[in-house]
Amino acid sequence: MTASRSPEPFVPFFLDGADGPLFSIHYPPAAENTPRGALLFVPPFAEEMNRARRMVVLQARRLAALGFHVLLFDLYGTGDSGGDFGQAHWEGWLEDVGHAKRWLAEQAGLPVTLWGLRTGCLLAAEHHRHNEEMPSSLLFWQPVANGQLFLTQFLRLKIAAAMASGAEGGEEKGPSTKALRQALLDGESLEVAGYDISTNVAQGLDAARLGKAVPVANSPAIWLEVGQGEDPSMPPASQAVIEAWREAGVKVVAKKVAGSSFWSIEETTLVPALWQKTEEALLAP
């Protein structure tokens, strides 16, 4: 089904979070539609949110036009929410997800689907696993399955910046991911790509695994990934988690769509096929 292209009304506000105000935008369902459901978007890490924002906002508008409540919010220390990135902590972000989910559930009067992008999927799955009393389902866009690998890749940005400014690379004379990781885990904050990373956030991300955060049995989960070419198969790391979840009784619908990595490209990039697959999955019986 194709959603209306006209933007639906939206309501910006500040939600009380665990550590401070969280900038939020509520997209209510179109007035002519009976509410179909409610989705809470859980953002990705650092610059990935800025690069994905247009893609996410347009999807929120489309879903509202189809009859869904959608809530977008910035985690504490990010975007227009209170605090600085370096003041954020992993447990606080998990609590932020809980605060936003409770608000949306009360507003919509419906169970909430946690819609994560990249590392937002790690936060969504971890919250879901520890809050069985707050029923929800999961919608994943390009999930990061292993937070430790993601942290390593993120730290490489600092190494690349040092090399670009004339510093020597390498294990012995220049920065290495091993040394940077150890510094973070030992309590030293680091600036990476313009973001101050705290020890707590680094530790939380380093320990996060989708394979460990198995949702409650019979919980529905939609897992969508973007890739080049016509190969419909999931990457091995993703497939391993999907199979483990299914063996645990989780109902996983997994699809791959053709498109570009909009969360990592500096120029605004859209993947309409991802919107369409998302809507088809949410509207399926």
pLDDT tens profile 105-152: 999 999 999 999 999 999 999 999 888 777 689 999 999 999 999 999
Give the residue carrying structure tokens 């991300």: 205
CA distances from 64 to 61, 239, 255 (A): 5, 31, 22
Domain range enclosing 237: 11-146+210-283
- pLDDT at residue 41 in the model: 98
Residue 2 or 182, more confident: 182
Mean pLDDT, the chain, whole residue set: 90
Give the neighbor-by-neighbor strand order of the sheet with 68-73: 11-16, 21-27, 68-73, 37-42, 112-117, 136-141, 220-227, 251-258
Same domain, 141 and 221: yes
Same domain, 120 and 49: yes
- pLDDT at residue 246 in the model: 94
pLDDT over 70 percentage in the chain? 92
**pLDDT level of residue 6 (50, 70, 90 thresholds):** very low
**Residue 189: DSSP 8-state:** -
CATH number for the domain that contains residue 55: 3.40.50.1820
Answer yes or no: is pLDDT of 8 > 80. no
Same domain, 259 and 180: no
Q: Which two tokens stand for residue 54?
A: 């247009």
Same domain, 133 and 269: yes
Same domain, 138 and 161: no
**Per-residue pLDDT tens over the stretch 9-57:** 899 999 999 999 999 999 999 877 689 999 999 999 999 999 999 999 9
Whole-angstrom Cα distance, residue 282 to residue 279? 5
Does residue 109 sit within a domain? yes
Same domain, 193 and 77: no
What angle, 0 to 180 degrees and rounded to 10, lies between the N-to-C axes of helices 119-130 and 147-164? 150
**pLDDT level of residue 166 (50, 70, 90 thresholds):** low
Q: Which two tokens stand for residue 36?
A: 């179909």
Burial string for 90-124 (b: 16+ CB within 10 Å, else e) reads: bebbbbbbbbbbebbbeebeeebbbbbbbbbbbbb
E strand or H helix at 96, and its extent? Answer: helix 90-108
Same domain, 219 and 129: yes
Using an 8 Å Cβ cutoff, are 257 and 43 in contact? no
Whole-angstrom Cα distance, residue 147 to residue 39? 24
The answer for 234, left when phi > 0, alpha when psi is -120 to 50, beta otherwise, is beta
Using an 8 Å Cβ cutoff, are 210 and 197 in contact? no
**Per-residue pLDDT tens over the stretch 207-247:** 999 998 888 777 899 999 999 877 778 999 999 999 999 99
Give the residue carrying structure tokens 């890749």: 153
Answer yes or no: is pLDDT of 170 > 60. no
Q: Work out how many domains the chain is built from and give that number.
A: 2
